[in-house]
Amino acid sequence: MQISLNIILDVLESYRQEIHVSSGSKLSFSRCLPLPDDTGDMAGDCIYVGGLAKALALRGEGVDICCICLRDRVKDEAETDAALNGLIIINENISPNALLMLVQNRFFAILDWIQQMHETMIHDGSMQDIVDLCAPVIDNYIAVSDSSLMLLAYSRFIPCDDPICVNLVKYGYHPEESIQKFKEYDLFRKWEMADGIYIDDTRTTAKYVALNKIFKFRNVYFAHVVLTCNRKPLTPGMIDLFQMFLDALAVYIERAWEAKSACNHIYDTFLTDLIEGNISSKKVIEERAQYVGIPLTGRYCLFQIISNDSANMSIGKMLMEFSDLFPRFRFIRYQQRIVAINNFFPHDDPEEQLQAICRSLEVFLEKYDALCGVSLFFDALDEIPFSFRQSTLALKYIDRLGRGGTGGRLVLQDEKQSPRINHFSDSYIFCLVGEYEPNAELWYHSDYHAMLRKLHDYDARHKSNTVQILQTYLSLERSATGTGAALNMHRNNVLYHISRIEEMLSVDFDSPSVRFMMLMSFILLELYGFNNE
């Protein structure tokens, strides 16, 4: 194992120095010895300690060495750049033996540290053990977290007063306060883009300069290591020590990744193939379903969950909690979202079971600021690609509905319905009509668009609610009593307004086709709003 010159220079930081080594050089050494008299005893992987006079003499003989030299001669014209190349001159009153011992002790400490880390790995030590071993050598605070922002290990014997570090240890994960700071300064994107060690010296989110390393496997964010320079300053030597630590830690990170991969569900590939439509043969589906233990038929429903967190940093934590909350679900991580299917108990009402699931799911979605699209019920696994498309559309329209020109939802819904869950069954017609944009132009040039525009303008002038009365009345299948209860009106008042609307529009709501076209127009109004041209 070799130790970089940068690390050695950190040991000499308190002494007055003259460094005659190129700043871009990557010199490293496996030994530190006193400068010998015989050039035949010299080795290329060794840094030497001795007097400047002897070092210059050896350089004059053409010997290429790297040496830490005590100034034992008066500076003169012999000390040219070529002659001094590779030398670090110490301008202090210190004995050669003391200087040699200082550098050798650092060598021994680091070599011992590396050996301890290797022995810890051999004897199945933990990631925490590796971090603990860093305390006397690196002497800065280190924290390791996973993709779900959960704490994996930290420097237990080095205190740190940085608020980010304090909260990470306090909660066992990065709380929302810290995450918002990361987002504010776009750190997630910067970390993701960094291939090597990322230096954050801005101090915008942290109290100290920090070194970051993101471990990614298959281009997936998996672990994050942060060295906070709260005791020792950031130097090239500190970066080299951090890299040596990372080399050892990488073994544990890779083991964790392999363990995670090994613990992936046996059905992951099968569900992915079904979602993507890669298998359509019922025989193949039946064989693979039997192998992974999923019933070929049943009463199923598909759920698709996506976080509003643009960086998707919470998906790992969501997956862990999801498996605990819904043990009957078969689920996968697919394109930074959770896709899950549930096979309902055959002897209980699936609708009641679905409602119970959604009540539990609502708390989960609120916690992670996530949304969920729910498919229609289906009875066979070969329906999964279509159910996935249904849930995708349900997610797409969960945000779009209610943002049309009317300024609010027009179609009546259960007041208890979750704003975070959209069932394809509840927005069936919206999804079908809304996916064909030319529908808007066709409707804009129809009599029914003109009728609703006329009612809307009438309401604006008279501060009335004829549009709401008509929509409610038609949605409730022309029940005057139900409409009155919904709008806090007397049924006779409802009937009066309906007759007035019929007169204004010259229509007859006894006609099924008129009622259907008007209800369809309310849907188009919610999707596209009024034509503003």
DSSP assignment string, 318-365: HHHHHHHH-TT-EEEE-SSSEEEEEE--TTS-HHHHHHHHHHHHHHHH
Assess whether 366 and 248 both reside in one domain: no
Tokens of 366: 């609120």
Range of the domain at 404: 268-423
Residue 113 within a domain: no
Does residue 303 share a domain with residue 279?
yes
User: What span, in angstroms and rounded, lies between the C-alpha atoms of 34 and 55?
Assistant: 11
Q: For residue 51, count CB atoms less than 10 angstroms from its CB and return exposed for 0-12, middle for 13-18, buried for 19 or more.
A: middle
Query: Is 514 a member of any domain?
Result: yes
Same domain flag for 298 and 398: yes
Whether residue 276 lies inside any domain: the answer is: yes
Amino acid residing at 291:
Y
Contacts of 435 (CB under 8 A, 6+ apart): 393
Same domain? 417 vs 277: yes
- Shared-domain flag, residues 131 and 224: yes
- Helix 315-325, helix 350-368: angle, nearest 10: 150
Residue 509 maps to which CATH number?
1.10.10.2840
List the pLDDT tens digit at each of the 533 positions of the chain.
789 999 999 999 999 999 999 877 789 999 999 998 877 778 888 999 999 999 999 888 888 889 999 999 999 998 998 899 999 999 999 998 999 999 999 999 999 999 999 999 888 889 999 999 999 999 999 999 987 778 999 999 999 999 999 999 998 888 888 988 888 888 888 887 888 899 999 999 999 999 999 998 766 678 899 999 999 999 999 999 999 999 999 988 887 776 666 556 778 888 999 999 888 888 889 888 888 889 999 999 999 999 876 445 567 678 878 888 998 999 998 887 899 999 999 989 999 999 999 999 999 999 888 999 999 999 999 999 999 999 999 998 886 654 333 333 444 444 446 789 999 988 878 877 777 777 788 888 888 889 999 999 999 999 999 999 999 999 899 999 999 999 999 999 999 999 999 999 999 999 998 898 898 888 888 888 888 75
Amino acid at 373: G
Q: Is residue 252 part of a domain?
A: yes
Do 38 and 91 reside in the same domain of the chain? Answer: yes
Number of domains in the chain: 4
258 and 272 in a single domain? The answer is no
Q: How far apart are CA 498 and CA 487, in angstroms?
A: 14
Does residue 430 sit within a domain? no
Is 333 found in the same domain as 218?
no
Q: Alpha carbon of 215 to those of 76, 132, 198, 256, 373: distances in Å?
A: 52, 20, 12, 11, 32
If asked whether residues 398 and 323 sit together in one domain, one would say: yes
Residues 69 and 139 in one domain: no
For the CA atoms of 106, 112, 115, 120, the dihedral, rounded to the nearest 10 degrees, stands at -120
Q: Of 378, 401, 423, which residue sits at a domain end?
A: 423
Task: Find, among 191, 212, 204, the residue nearest to 142 by Cα.
Answer: 212
* CA separation for the pair 49, 96 (Å, rounded): 7
Query: Of 231, 262, 293, which residue constitutes the final position of a domain?
Result: 262
For residues 272 and 255, state if they share a domain.
no
Helices (H) and strands (E) in the chain, counts: 22, 18
Residues 308 and 347 in one domain: yes
Asked, for residue 288, whether it belongs to a domain, the answer is yes
